[in-house]
Amino acid sequence: MDISIVGTGYVGLPAGTGLASKGHDVTCIDIDQEKVDKINSGECPIYEEDLPELLEKMVSEDKLRATTNTEEAIRDSDITFLAVGTPMKDDGDINLDYIKQATKDAAHGIKNKDSYHVFVVKSTVVPTTTEEEIIPILEEVSGKKVGKDFGVCMNPEFLREGTALNDFLEPDRIVIGELDEKSGETLEKVYEGFEAPIMRTSLKAAELIKYASNSLLATKISFINEIGNMCKELGIDVYEVADGIGMDSRIERSFLDSGAGFGGSCFPKDVRALINFMEKNNVDPKITESTIEVNEKQKTRLVDLLEEHYPSLENKTVAILGLAFKPGTDDIRQSPAIDIISELKQKGADVKAYDPEAIQNMKERHPDIEYTESYQKAIENSNAALIVTDWAEFNQISRKDLKSMDEALIIEGRKIRHKLDDGITKGINWP
């Protein structure tokens, strides 16, 4: 099929490249000319596992291209995916500005088309947005009738940053929210080569499935962190408890890794948006609110543990190992490291920080701390090191590294499980 995708970010580009590899003809649309030029020269503008190689191949085989001309791309395609961002506003609601502008641009394309077109919302939007915000714009600007001249679907994504391409190509399920049968049938054809169950549902159920999925995963993390805090008191290892719980197939082991709390551009934003949406609909969001509350406290629990060792942090040198919200990315959005550094600075500590990918981004947030080129340099002469992101290289912390510290204290906010007898290694939620 001829497919156009609006937005070449962490969702649009892996999806577009994945669809091209399944035999579709894909045109990616972006307002950023530089990004468009990069893609057309076979260069991948974002950091994602396996994406650069496949993107280059698809561009060279002329299965994938990019443009800034929305109207033309829509006119020449059968179906359009909307994959632009929905960032969080200060009040926790989602910002629909990009969605609305991109929808208007797309509607101009639909206006100039003679044949039936399907518009698919892939961006994360709260329930009823497609029906109440997006469809009215499409109808008004195109002058055409939804359900007759064009169809609409809501097709949420479940991609993780870093492994988005593989998550796209091998999904657990494909959710198709449809305005009507014809819209859903058309979208289902796009996924013909995928080996995943396809669920057809309403537009607003699809929208809610996305929020409920992310919120439940976030809740699993907060729950295991709460259990972990209990484990710490009892002197037992929360990872053993998680393994024991996770052997129950009804519960499952994933997303039960306790640590310094969840971050990223999705969980914190989506849980907050769901809370706001529930409140607006007179539903008391007790569990989802607690998920955020537990997470907020969890983020600086590492500092609490540090203070058990050093009642005053004044002039203590603390190394932060890991700044990204998870390994495999340079993304620091909502990363626990941001709050941990603020708290340490406020308590008078000198902070040294290291991350293999995310230093540049953190410098914009915390320009006034010292950044080092290796973890060894960060922990050298420090009074303690806090592991905030579980980058594999931190497994290599050696006895020699410990000897270089003023005091050999390491507190793991992510379980690295290295055992060094001549230093003190504490876990956030394990002995």
Name the minimum Å distance from CB 207 to ligand UGA. 13
Using CB under 6 A, which of 3, 266, 271, 409 touches ligand UGA? 266
Q: Is 231 annotated in the active site?
A: no
Please report whether residue 319 would count as binding ligand UGA according to CB under 6 A: no
Contacts of 215 (CB under 8 A, 6+ apart): 270, 271, 274, 288, 291
Query: Identity (one letter) of the amino acid at 305?
Result: L
Site string for ligand UGA, 219-248 (x = CB under 6 A): --x---------------------------
Contact stretch for ligand UGA (CB under 6 A) within 127-135, 144-152, 176-184, 261-269? 261-269
Name the minimum Å distance from CB 218 to ligand UGA. 7
Task: Kindly tell me which of 139 and 157 has the beta carbon lying closer to ligand UGA.
Answer: 157
Using CB under 6 A, which of 12, 127, 177, 259 touches ligand UGA? 259
Using CB under 6 A, which of 54, 121, 138, 159 touches ligand UGA? 159
Contact stretch for ligand UGA (CB under 6 A) within 57-65, 111-119, 156-164, 352-360? 156-164
- For the sheet containing 150-154, what is the strand order? 64-67, 25-29, 2-6, 79-82, 117-121, 150-154, 174-178, 198-201
Instruction: Measure Cα distances from 158 to 227, 267, 347 in Å.
Output: 27, 12, 39
Please report whether residue 111 would count as binding ligand UGA according to CB under 6 A: no
Q: Are 32 and 17 in contact (CB under 8 A)?
A: no
Task: Kindly tell me which of 11 and 146 has the beta carbon lying closer to ligand UGA.
Answer: 11
Please report whether residue 257 would count as binding ligand UGA according to CB under 6 A: yes
Q: Are 51 and 17 in contact (CB under 8 A)?
A: yes
Instruction: Measure Cα distances from 44 to 49, 58, 65, 104, 366 in Å.
Output: 11, 11, 12, 27, 28
> CA dihedral defined by 368, 369, 372, 374, rounded to 10 degrees?
-140
Tokens of 405: 């510290």
Contacts of 41 (CB under 8 A, 6+ apart): 59
Q: List residues binding ligand UGA (CB under 6 A).
A: 157-161, 214, 217, 221, 255-257, 259, 262-264, 266-267, 325-326
User: So which residues are the catalytic ones?
Assistant: 266
